[in-house]
Each structure stands twice: as C-alpha cells, then as structure tokens.
Amino acid sequence: MNVFVIGIGLIGGSLAKDIKMLYPQSKLFGIDSSEMHLKQAFSLNIIDEMASMDDLYKADWVIVAVPVDVAVSLVPEVLDKIPSHALVLEVGSTKAALCKAISKHKNRRNLLATHPIAGTEFSGPKAAHCGLFKGKTNIICEIDKTAFPIQEKALKLFAALEMHIRYMKPKAHDKHIAYVSHLSHISSFMLGKTVIEKEQNERDIFDLAGSGFESTVRLAKSSPAMWTPIFKQNKTNIIGCLEEYIRNLKQFKKLIENDKYDPIFKELESTNKIKEILNGIQFKQ
C-alpha cells in the first residue's frame, strides 16, 4: 500500500509513524514544500521515499496535513491526480473553507474531511511521534459526501489509532472549535506579548514565573505559519468569541475597580465548575 503524506510536520509525521507501525507492508512517500523538512523526515525514517505531486497517480492513501490556506488550493490538485480507488484525508483545523473548495470536484467522494484534536505547541518532523492520536477526538465533517469504501478504510484507521469519532457540519465545527482551540491560542499569544512588552522595561519578570504562567502561555510557542491562516479562515467566529472574551475581561476589571469582591468571589466560584467539565474529558499530550 502506497501512503503519501503531504506536509510532514507534527500531525502528518505522527500519522506517518503510526501508519507504518499499524500497516508494516505500507510504503510511506513524503511531499513537503520545505526541502529541509522533507530530508529530515527521510533521515528520521518517518518516510521511505521523497516524492512530488506527480507521483500521486500511484497513491492508495493520501494524507494532507498542510496549513489550512494551502489545503484549499492543494486538495483539489490532489483529487485531480489520484487514482479512482484512493483515500484522501485532510486533517486541518478549519473545515468550512476546505469543504466548500472541493464541493463540486468530480472526485469529492475520495476525500474525508477530518480534524484530529491532537497537537502540541511544537511543529516540524522532529516533533512527530507515535501514539499522538490515541484516545483523542477526531471530528469528521460531511461523511455523507465520502464514498462508502473510502469511509470504511478511514474509519478502520481511526479505530486502529484508538480515536473517538464525532460527526459535525463544517460550519458548526469551525464555530465550536473557535471557542475551545482558536481562542485559547490567541489568549496565550497575547498573554505572552503583554509580559514580553513589560519585561522590556522591567527586568527579570520571567525569573518569577511559575508553572501556572508556563501553562497559560504554552500555546504562544505555536507556529505562525500554521496559525495565521487559521485565524484568517475562521475570522468571523474568532472575532465573535474574542469579543465575548474581551467583554468578560473588561467586566472583571470593572468589578475590581469598584471593589466588588463578593461578585468576584461568585464569578470565580461558578467558573470553578470547569473542574468537573475537564475531569469528564481525557487529555493526553
């Protein structure tokens, strides 16, 4: 089985590693716009062969794990070039623009649009590792637009990866994920920015930082090349949740300014229920 991975970063590379372990007979081909990443993936044994888009005619599976703006133009090209039996998996963090871009493609039924909720703040082939997807949620969009045999192959892979499947419409996906992923990234980036700016005038601030600070700014290490296109594609939803977040911060600031400490206590107490919510979810890095 010939498996092509386009974009050998954290997600593409980790999928390649898992597939190689689960399907030892498979041959892994890598395609990447960065020659350095491609060579790294080869020397790290993540892929067996460096390939190009013109080799896709021999693909059985194609995994597209590129920034979401690249995916919109690249996936139609992939669909143009694959043989009729091939499975194409797109795994980006937004789904509406991608699904729209391929809605009329003659080979639409070869593609399954997914979003595995897995990742770390690290990127590139060196960050790839086996087991990244185990126990994680995988959101599948527009399953009905994918051919049955293709669905079947993909679901078998996800079951082997031990992922939980959730089915959603692309627009609902993009709206919900803005709250539980995109907003977290912006809050983290801006927190990092605020403290870096302060540090320029007041030395040694970071020397006082503890694990709480580290936890809240961890996502500020994330790749700008991956995240700028996500913010662009999910603009409307992100503006919406940013407005709510800023409104809540301003209201909290006002409570402090007006010495309203009882309402602050109640606010913190009612937000504490995030404990029970998070306890119900299994998080693994």
| Distance in Å, CB of 85 to a copy of itself, minimum | 32
List of residues 6+ apart from 238 with CB closer than 8 A: 178, 182, 183, 186, 231
Which amino acid, 159? A
| Distance in Å, CB of 184 to a copy of itself, minimum | 4
* Helix, strand or coil, per DSSP, at residue 38: helix
Residue 96 interacting with a copy of itself (CB under 8 A): no
Comparing CB distances to a copy of itself, the nearer of 159 and 264 is 264
Residue 54 interacting with a copy of itself (CB under 8 A): no
Residue closest to 186 by CA, chosen among 122, 240, 133, 139: 240
Spatial distance between the Cα atoms of 84 and 198, rounded to a whole number of angstroms: 57
* Integer CA distances (angstroms), 170 to 40, 97, 155, 270, in order: 34, 8, 18, 31
Comparing CB distances to a copy of itself, the nearer of 21 and 249 is 249
Residue 107 interacting with a copy of itself (CB under 8 A): no
* Helix, strand or coil, per DSSP, at residue 160: helix
Number of residues that bind a copy of itself (CB under 8 A): 95
In what side-by-side order are the strands of the sheet with 164-168? 49-50, 27-31, 2-6, 61-64, 87-90, 111-116, 137-141, 164-168
| Distance in Å, CB of 247 to a copy of itself, minimum | 9
Residue 222 interacting with a copy of itself (CB under 8 A): yes
Among 70, 117, 155, 165, binds a copy of itself (CB under 8 A): 117
Among 22, 130, 159, 196, binds a copy of itself (CB under 8 A): 196
Residue 127 interacting with a copy of itself (CB under 8 A): no
Residue 33 interacting with a copy of itself (CB under 8 A): no
Residue 189 bridge partners (DSSP): none
Residue 57: CB atoms within 10 Å: 10
Encoded one letter per residue, x for contact with a copy of itself by CB under 8 A and - for no contact, window 229-258 reads x-xx--x--xx-xxxxxx-xxx-xx--xx-
| Distance in Å, CB of 69 to a copy of itself, minimum | 9
Comparing CB distances to a copy of itself, the nearer of 36 and 264 is 264
Residue 208 interacting with a copy of itself (CB under 8 A): yes
In contact, 166 and 138? CB cutoff 8 Å: yes
Comparing CB distances to a copy of itself, the nearer of 84 and 270 is 270
Residue 209 interacting with a copy of itself (CB under 8 A): yes
| Distance in Å, CB of 75 to a copy of itself, minimum | 21
| Distance in Å, CB of 23 to a copy of itself, minimum | 26
Long-range contacts: 235-239, Cβ < 8 Å, 24+? Answer: 237/174, 237/175, 237/178, 237/182, 238/178, 238/182, 238/183, 238/186
> Which residues, numbered 148-177, are part of the site for a copy of itself (CB under 8 A)?
166, 175-177
Which amino acid, 96? A
